[in-house]
């Protein structure tokens, strides 16, 4: 099921109450962290702290980067700066940083502050966090966990997560539905149930829940994004585009929103706009295979053969065993009547996937245009056996 539901709950608890607009450098810092380039991330987040000096989340991100670089003194300094702007926002990170320095007293002091407020990290997540390895055998640590740090609501969320992760989705839904009856449910619960519906492909129900969550948090761009994601599955592309444009504006340019908007533009056959959005996303995540494939697909649809060929070349270099890339590139060569080059890619495609009926069809078209009718008819015969009925038309025309 949804393995990251705990993180999802924390995300909604936080974002629901604190919809934040960032700048491009913040998102580039996050992308650099995701891509494993921490030194580049530090450069970007420095720029972000200059332009947004009083934003606690920017300082939190800078502290996280220093933490990942094992520079704990500087991380603590950044976390304390974040705390000066918003109390409680960085205390869990401070607990982790002090634990990494084996400072048990300070680590537990910060952890107590974190667990005495909301939102808080789930107990299981804390106990599995390797940051606390150096202090977990101390008497103080063991005594600390004799306290019950969680409210009934937080235990309820943990119970929903437990059943959902173990595949007991009916029980998870029953718990949520019971909790949401006869009272005004929190927007986080609508969002949580919406995400569960989305995971189960119940898109109409998911969209309704995200719409309800947005009523309470109109500037909650994550909610808006997820509603747009649901609407995409319902083929309501125009409304999805409107919502995604709003989410991008409210967030300050979250890259994920650009990628989904690219899909919405492509579904609306607005390929130049789709290409612009996916290209923008690729400036953050240049090695994302899905985004590179989207760029190639949209370039083909827009008639931009050179761009498509360049992207497919990159993809093949990264994933040489993916037959789809050779098939796509062959189609481009076929459009420019480069039958011999297209045949080479189709041969490779069939080497990787001998059951691909479309590749047999296309290789037959290449062969007949190269004057090799007998070989073409052989390929179409195989394509027909594998269920490609378009090959019948070619066989009827050329193989009498």
Whether the bond into 192 is cis, omega within 30 of 0: no
The answer to whether residue 197 is domain-embedded is no
The answer to whether residue 166 is domain-embedded is no
Domain final position from 106, 127, 147: 147
The answer to whether residue 4 is domain-embedded is yes
- In terms of phi and psi (left: phi > 0; alpha: psi -120 to 50; beta: otherwise), the region of 269 is left
Residues counted in the chain: 400
Helix, strand, coil: what percent of the chain each, to 5? 75, 0, 25
**Rounded-to-10 torsion of CA 313, 316, 318, 320:** -160
* Euclidean distance between CA atoms 284 and 28, whole angstroms: 6
The pair of structure tokens assigned to 309 is: 């060929």
Please list the rounded mean pLDDT of every run of 10 residues in the chain (400 residues): 41 48 94 96 96 96 98 98 96 98 97 92 91 96 94 88 87 90 84 93 96 92 97 97 97 97 97 96 91 90 89 89 93 93 97 96 97 95 94 91
Domain final position from 147, 182, 208: 147
Q: Could you tell me the CATH number of the domain that includes residue 115?
A: 1.25.40.10
Neighbours of 338 (CB within 10 A): 14
The answer to whether residue 288 is domain-embedded is no
User: Which pLDDT score, from 0 to 100, does residue 19 have?
Assistant: 59
The answer to whether residue 285 is domain-embedded is no
Neighbours of 167 (CB within 10 A): 10
Dihedral pair phi/psi, residue 194, rounded to 5°? -60, -40
Domain final position from 98, 125, 147: 147
* Euclidean distance between CA atoms 266 and 255, whole angstroms: 17
Note down the domain range covering 382. 320-398
The answer to whether residue 143 is domain-embedded is yes
CA angle, 247 as apex, 245 and 253 as ends, to 5°?
85
In angstroms, the Cα distances linking 297 to 8, 23, 277, 287 are 31, 29, 13, 16
The pair of structure tokens assigned to 1 is: 């099921």
* Euclidean distance between CA atoms 368 and 259, whole angstroms: 40
The answer to whether residue 254 is domain-embedded is no
Q: Tally the domains of the chain.
A: 2
3-state SS, residue 334 = helix
The answer to whether residue 346 is domain-embedded is yes
């Amino acid at each position: 099921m949804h393995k990251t539901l705990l993180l999802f709950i924390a995300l909604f608890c936080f974002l629901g109450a604190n919809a934040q607009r960032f700048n491009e450098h913040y998102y580039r810092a996050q992308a650099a962290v995701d891509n494993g380039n921490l030194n580049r991330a530090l450069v970007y987040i420095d720029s972000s702290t200059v332009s947004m000096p009083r934003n606690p989340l920017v300082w939190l991100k800078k502290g996280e980067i220093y933490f990942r670089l094992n520079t704990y003194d500087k991380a603590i300094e950044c976390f304390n700066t974040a705390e000066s702007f918003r109390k409680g926002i960085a205390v869990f990170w401070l607990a982790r940083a002090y634990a990494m320095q084996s400072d048990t007293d300070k680590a537990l002091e910060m952890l107590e502050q974190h667990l005495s407020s909301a939102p808080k990290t789930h107990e299981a997540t804390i106990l599995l966090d390797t940051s606390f390895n150096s202090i977990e055998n101390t008497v103080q640590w063991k005594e600390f966990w004799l306290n019950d740090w969680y409210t009934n609501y937080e235990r309820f969320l943990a119970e929903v997560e437990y059943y959902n992760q173990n595949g007991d989705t009916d029980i998870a839904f029953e718990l949520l539905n019971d909790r949401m009856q006869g009272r005004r449910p929190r927007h986080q619960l609508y969002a949580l149930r919406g995400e569960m519906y989305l995971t189960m492909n119940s898109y109409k129900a998911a969209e309704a829940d995200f719409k309800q969550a947005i009523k309470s948090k109109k500037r909650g761009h994550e909610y808006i994004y997820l509603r747009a994601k649901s609407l995409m599955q319902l083929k309501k592309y125009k409304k999805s585009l409107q919502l995604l444009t709003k989410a991008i504006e409210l967030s300050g340019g979250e890259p994920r929103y650009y990628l989904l908007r690219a899909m919405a533009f492509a579904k609306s056959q607005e390929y130049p706009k789709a290409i612009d959005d996916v290209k923008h996303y690729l400036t953050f995540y240049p090695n994302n295979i899905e985004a590179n494939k989207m760029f190639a697909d949209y370039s083909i649809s827009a008639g931009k053969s050179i761009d498509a060929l360049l992207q497919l070349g990159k993809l093949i270099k990264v994933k040489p065993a993916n037959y789809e890339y050779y098939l796509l590139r062959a189609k481009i060569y076929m459009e420019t009547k480069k039958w011999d080059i297209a045949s080479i890619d189709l041969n490779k495609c069939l080497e990787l996937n001998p059951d691909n009926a479309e590749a047999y069809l296309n290789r037959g078209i290449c062969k007949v245009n190269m004057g090799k009718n007998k070989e073409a008819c052989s390929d179409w015969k195989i394509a027909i056996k594998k269920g490609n009925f378009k090959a019948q038309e070619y066989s009827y025309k050329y193989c009498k």
